[in-house]
């Protein structure tokens, strides 16, 4: 178990990661905000080495797919044994997530839900993936961090952990900072500016120097809408629909 005793009475947010490469954890999560929170006991990390549940002398964890095809598939008996062992230290209602390119897209709503739970189990696949039977038997929720394929689920798992940890109480210096992040209100974030006021022939927009917080808020909101409309039509359409639904409710 990685992580110190919590500084408060609040139990740490528990992460159980199952992987063939345990040395990949905590990885980048040992640095910056996530690393400080791990040391402070705000969250904890337990890593299970899937290889230790392998079959035979050589601890075999995979076999060729039935029906033919390239690559290897991780065995269901091996994975089930690893999952059952990891589950012993996790709450009974822990969500079990299998990082997979065919999973439902990870979004800020999922991240918020996980941050309010007691913890999460993350299964990091390798090769061509997991046998479908263990996915169903262990009730794994397949989650994708994007429409591309990685060598394994470890980096994807770390992305998910980092996104959740920053929302945990006590992690960010300003507890309200994440409320202006992209996706929190369905829009991408507005442009940001700091010193110097003049740089490379470009000035900070006058509105941000006005001291009129109401006008600044309106400007930022309009900028967020414009950026979302230009860059993410999928988010823009979803946001517009949500506004129409709110009007109908009112």
The interaxial angle of helices 213-231 and 233-249, nearest 10 deg, is 130
Query: What average pLDDT does the structure give for the chain?
Result: 92
Predicted pLDDT of residue 245: 74
| CA-angle at 47, arms to 45 and 48, nearest 5° | 150
Taking residues 174-195, what's their average pLDDT? 74
pLDDT in tens, 73-110: 999 999 999 999 999 999 988 999 999 999 999 999 99
What CATH number belongs to 13-165?
3.40.1280.10
Rg over alpha carbons for the chain, rounded to the nearest Å, is 22
Which residues are CB-contacts of 244 (< 8 A; sequence separation ≥ 6)?
none
Which of the two residues, 152 and 181, has the higher pLDDT score? 152
Of 43-57, 132-146, 184-198, give the lowest mean pLDDT range: 184-198
* HSE of 113, CA atoms in CB hemisphere, 13 A: 7
CATH architecture classification, 182-249: Orthogonal Bundle (1.10)
Task: Specify the pLDDT at position 181.
Answer: 56
Mind listing the pLDDT tens digit for each residue in 11-34? Answer: 999 999 999 999 999 999 999 999
- Whether the per-residue pLDDT at 179 is higher than 70: the answer is no
H or E stretch including 102? strand 95-105
Could you tell me the residue ranges of all domains in the chain?
13-165, 182-249
Catalytically annotated residues:
101, 128, 166, 181
């Amino acid at each position: 178990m990685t992580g110190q005793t919590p500084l408060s009475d609040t139990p740490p947010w528990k992460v159980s990661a199952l992987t063939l490469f345990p040395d990949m954890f905590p990885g980048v999560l040992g640095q910056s905000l996530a690393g400080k929170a791990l040391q402070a006991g705000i969250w904890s990390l337990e890593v299970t080495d899937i290889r230790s549940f392998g079959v035979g002398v050589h601890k075999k964890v995979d076999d060729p797919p039935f029906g033919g095809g390239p690559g290897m598939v991780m065995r269901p008996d091996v994975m089930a044994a690893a999952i059952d062992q990891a589950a012993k230290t996790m709450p009974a209602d822990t969500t079990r997530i299998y990082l997979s390119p065919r999973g439902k897209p990870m979004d800020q709503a999922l991240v918020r839900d996980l941050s309010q739970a007691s913890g999460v189990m993350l299964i990091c696949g390798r090769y061509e993936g997991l046998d479908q039977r263990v996915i169903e038997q262990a009730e794994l929720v397949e989650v994708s961090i994007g429409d591309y394929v990685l060598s394994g689920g470890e980096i994807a798992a770390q992305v998910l952990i980092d996104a959740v940890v920053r929302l945990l109480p006590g992690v960010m210096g300003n507890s309200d900072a994440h409320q202006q992040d992209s996706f929190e209100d369905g829009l991408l974030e507005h442009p940001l500016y700091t010193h110097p006021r003049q740089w490379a022939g470009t000035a900070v927009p006058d509105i941000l120097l006005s001291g009129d917080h109401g006008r600044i808020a309106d400007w930022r909101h309009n900028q967020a809408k414009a950026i979302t409309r230009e860059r993410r039509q999928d988010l823009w359409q979803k946001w517009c629909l949500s506004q129409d639904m709110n009007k109908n409710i009112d």
